Chains A and B, each alone.
Chain A
Amino acid sequence: MIADALLRADDVTVRFGGVVALDGVSISAPASAIVGLVGPNGAGKTTLFGVLSGLVRPRSGRVLLRGVDVTSTSPQRRSRLGLARTFQRIELFAELTVREHLVVAHRAHERRDRRFLADLAGLESRPPPRERELVAGLLDLLGLTALADRPAALLPLGTGRLVEVARALATEPAIVLLDEPTSGLDAGEAERLATALERTRADLDVAFVLVEHNVDFVLGLAEHVTVLDFGKVIAAGAPAAIRADKAVQAAYLGTSTGAGAL
């Protein structure tokens, strides 16, 4: 384990009724790295994201964010510590436009979401230049500028995923958890997303943890990959090592690499 990890889960176990969804899973992501998390359906990837982002309480184990134990803190507190995420089933704000998604995320991050009295009085201060710049930059980065004033309810699925990524980045995070960001994207959109992630990492020092079914996308982008199967880590290492790992091939990549046997 890397000692100075930005985000770290130690020995996390989650049960739903009698089902062990995660069984002593550990994972860590250093600053400004791209870490992949793969595994077959039902392996526990989304549950692990739930634990990392504070939506699922683990039965045991702990989660450290920037060295702070956040195991029992709320999602919004973790957001303030620099964690953001996207969802596998997209969770957009149906009534808001694309731009408003970024604006509300940014204001929540800057804790300007709690101006009840100022709002009541109608003290509509013009959006500060920093907010406008940041929002415009993110819209541009993800190719959403032309759609900025569309309501989210009317967006196609692929665009919706990009809006989720943009909304996550609008909280100026140190690390973003992306839950299957390319599902529903066409080849061009996936390409654009990969470029955007690389650029965000380079420009803003943002780290990413990536859950993906698109194995080529992960192995091409990540420096470090963890493989989950039935709630357990079965392999972890560099993409090349993962590709060669026999247990992984059996559990997950078997058919695609043609190595069916153990």
Chain B
Amino acid sequence: MNALIVAGLVLGSIYAISALGLVLTYTASRVFNFAHGAIAYFVAVFYYWLHTRHGWSVPAAAVVSIGVMSPLLGLFLWAALFRRLAHTPPVVRFVSTVGLWVALPALVKVIFPFTKNEIFEPTGLIEGSPRVFDVFGVNINANQLVVLVGAAVVATGLTVLIRYTPLGLSVRATVDSPRVAGIAGVNTSVVTASSWMLGTVLAGLAGVLLTPILGLADIQFTLLLVASLGAVVIARMTSLPLAFGGALLIGLAQEVSREWLPDSGVLAKGFRPSIPFIVMLVFLLAYQGLKGERFEVDSRAISQDRPEAPAPPPLRGWRGALGPALVAGALLTVPLWLSDFWIGVVSQGMGLAILFLTFTVVTGEGGMVSLCQMTLAGIGGFTAAKLATDSGWPLGLALLVGAAVAVPVGMLVAGLSLRLGGLYLALATLAFSQLVENLVFAREDFDNFGTGVEIGRPQFFGIDFDDAAPFYLLLVVVFCVMALLVLNLRRGTSGLVFASMRSSEPASATIGISVVRSKMIAFGASAFIAGLGGGLYAIAIGRAAPASFNLIIGIVWLAIVVTWGVRSVVGALIAGIIFVVAPQLVSLYLSEGWTDVPTMLFGLGAIALAREPRGVLFDVVNQHRLRRLRRQTRRDERARRAAPVPA
């Protein structure tokens, strides 16, 4: 038991180091930095590169990576990204840091190719084989001791810094009101930049401290970040002491629960990793008044910064149908000029495009960032695969039932977390997705040693969709139908209601809109699309497997969809196809060094949203309209000058 308690404290300290950094950056900038773990990973790899690859001594490598590289990275990220985020809508803030989370590990693999191979027992701050100490009759090695002490020091130091120093005072003032703090003589740029640098130093410290315990794998750092969110929620995002205490508590619970857990079965495997998320959900639901804080977005400031051309009136009648018909027509000709192999690849992309429409509805229309759409897709995919393969149902029916099963699940999540809103909604959906991943998808009958559940191709109306071309065409038809439904929803009264809610929930409520009901509808509809898309995507790749619907995949999906335009069905289409085709092209035609470049670009694209929150497609169309407008103005001007001056 003592051994478990000490192990729990060590694990808790690991969470604490991560959680404290997150709380600090959130306190200092109101940007919730999902890339915290990725930054820690980056610095850890840099440290390893200096120390192990280039033979630097531990102190030199530690000072350069934690004391120089980390703050420089923080300064760079602040100047290039976080500075701009202050004036963007919450969805954009959020997705930009998710983009960084996706891009950084890929960037690391491009810069430091040695990270692609497993690194055995990387060194931390303790060189050689660490000494073992005896604490209360429990053996604990020097690396673990450093983590324990490090967490306590960081917690105390930060609390003192924020509460009792002039810098801390400026930080708190700047967060409350940047403008007033500025008038009072605080250089707010310096304050937010230093907070970011401090945040990345903490991330770097965490990275180096945790290296010997976690190993140098980006996935470990990501999972650490996600698990430490439990402590961040306990701290209500802002309390350093609560974050520290909460982290220790979660670590203890995870280790001590070993005493009581059965030796086999899904609970043995899935319960411990689920603890942080159970804690997270419980606290999210228990805390009162966790309404997503009201971000003050000055839409006028944005539109002056980025001039927006007035949209032409929507085309009516056959002219309005022309654009969509052209897109559909182009999609239908694909089998004529691609080989069967590439039709197969593009089919996976079409399956994803259908799935991605779920983001168009829940985030694009509903204005909510949900991190469980991939889980809802997984529910649809697994249900369809189980019913079709194990129970022998006709595939079409299995697909529909899969989609239908996702709906109540999605609505349940929505119902529990809607009153939270904003960032807290994202965290609640994240917790839910992790619970399903650990407790359901990890079950042996779903996971099947990682291979998942097979699912075949459909066969109906006498057509055999086993062949590449017919199956592809089926997906195109389904995509067009779903896209049309989404467009109808947007064009109707529902679209007006969604747009109202995205701008102002209080105003929507006072004109009689039921905000909760409308959000439930958006969530339910998005769950249906996710479930259907998940099933079709599973058919396209031949199986429903946990790895196709996990968190890491889910955030890359979100990043790429938002990059292309989360308000646009064409954005979802392009995102789906690029997500599958780009890596395939790279692996066929480029050397191995390029493997991670597409993922990096997907992440960087999401970061670029800070510049144009409405996505690439909107930007292109808008630039085109602006050019036309300018030409028109010049023509008018010339005509006016040429005309005889009226007497």
Q: Which residues of A contact B (CB under 8 A)?
A: 53-55, 74-76, 78-80, 83-85, 87, 91-96, 100, 103-105, 107-109, 111-116, 118-122, 124, 151, 153-154, 167-168, 170-171
Give the distance to chain A from B518, nearest Cβ to Cβ, in Å.
8
Kindly identify, within residues 321 to 371 of chain B, every residue whose CB is under 8 Å from any CB belonging to chain A. none
Q: Do A108 and B497 form a contact, CB below 8 Å, given A79-B510, A153-B299?
A: yes
Is there contact, CB below 8 Å, between A107 and B496?
A: yes
Which stretch in B76-84, B128-136, B278-286, B501-509 binds the other chain? B501-509
A95's nearest neighbour on chain B, judged by CB, is B499
Chain A CB within 10 Å, residue with most, of B495, B509, B510: B510
Which B residues are closer than 8 A to A by beta carbons? 299-300, 303, 310, 484-485, 488-489, 491-497, 499-500, 502-504, 506-515, 517-518, 521, 525
Best-surrounded residue of A104, A167, A170 (most CB of chain B within 10 A): A104
Choose among B299, B484, B491 the residue with the greatest number of A CB atoms under 10 Å from its CB.
B299
Cα–Cα distance between A103 and B511 once the two chains are bound (Å): 11
Q: Are A91 and B493 in contact, CB atoms less than 8 angstroms apart?
A: no
Chain B residues with CB under 8 A of A167: 507, 511
CB distance from B529 to the nearest CB of A (A): 12
Q: Is the interface of B mostly helix, strand, loop or mixed?
A: helix
Q: CB-CB < 8 A to B484: which residues of A?
A: 122
CB of B363, distance to nearest CB on chain A (Å): 15
Q: Which residue of the partner chain A has the closest CB to B487? A: A122
A107 to B514, CA, bound (A): 12
A-B contact count (CB 8 A): 124
Smallest Cβ distance from A118 to chain B, in angstroms?
Answer: 7
Do residues A115 and B493 form an inter-chain contact, with CB atoms below 8 A?
Answer: yes
Q: A79-B511, A92-B503, A108-B512 are known contacts. Are A153 and B496 too (CB-CB below 8 A)?
A: no
Which of A84, A93, A105, A111 sits near B499, CB closer than 8 Å? A93
Q: 26 A–B contact pairs at CB < 8 A? A: A54-B509, A74-B509, A75-B506, A75-B509, A76-B514, A76-B515, A79-B509, A84-B511, A91-B503, A91-B504, A92-B507, A93-B500, A93-B504, A96-B500, A103-B496, A104-B493, A104-B511, A104-B513, A108-B511, A112-B493, A113-B493, A115-B493, A116-B521, A153-B303, A154-B303, A170-B511
Within the complex, which residue of B303, B504, B513 is in contact with A113, where a contact is CB–CB below 8 Å?
Answer: B513
Across chains A and B, which 7 residue pairs bring their CB atoms closest together, nearest first? A119-B492, A79-B512, A91-B507, A75-B509, A122-B488, A91-B504, A108-B512
Partner of B510 from the list A53, A104, A121, A151 (CB cut-off 8 Å) is A53
- A92 close to B496 (CB less than 8 A): no
In the complex, which residues of chain B have a beta carbon less than 8 angstroms from the beta carbon of A168? 511
Query: Cβ of B488: which chain A residues have Cβ within 8 Å of it?
Result: 119-122, 124
B509 surroundings in chain A (CB, below 8 A) = 54-55, 74-76, 79
In whole angstroms, what is the CA distance A115 to B515 when docked? 14
Docked pose: A119 CA to B507 CA in angstroms:
23
CB proximity of A104 to chain B, nearest CB, Å: 4
**Sample of 4 further A-B pairs with CB below 8 A, known A76-B515, A104-B499:** A84-B510, A96-B496, A122-B491, A124-B491
> Within the assembled complex, what's the spacing in Å between the Cα atoms of A208 and B299?
30
Query: Which residues of B have CB within 8 Å of A75?
Result: 506, 509-510
In the complex, which residue of chain A has the Cβ closest to the Cβ of B297? Answer: A94
- Complex Cα gap A190–B202 (Å): 55
Docked-complex contact B512 and A119, CB < 8 angstroms: no
Q: With A93-B504, A95-B503, A114-B517 as known contacts, state yes or no: A55 contacts B510, CB within 8 Å.
A: yes
Cβ-closest chain A residue relative to B524: A116
A118 and B510 contacting across the interface, CB-CB below 8 Å: no
Q: Would B491 and A76 count as touching, CB distance under 8 A?
A: no
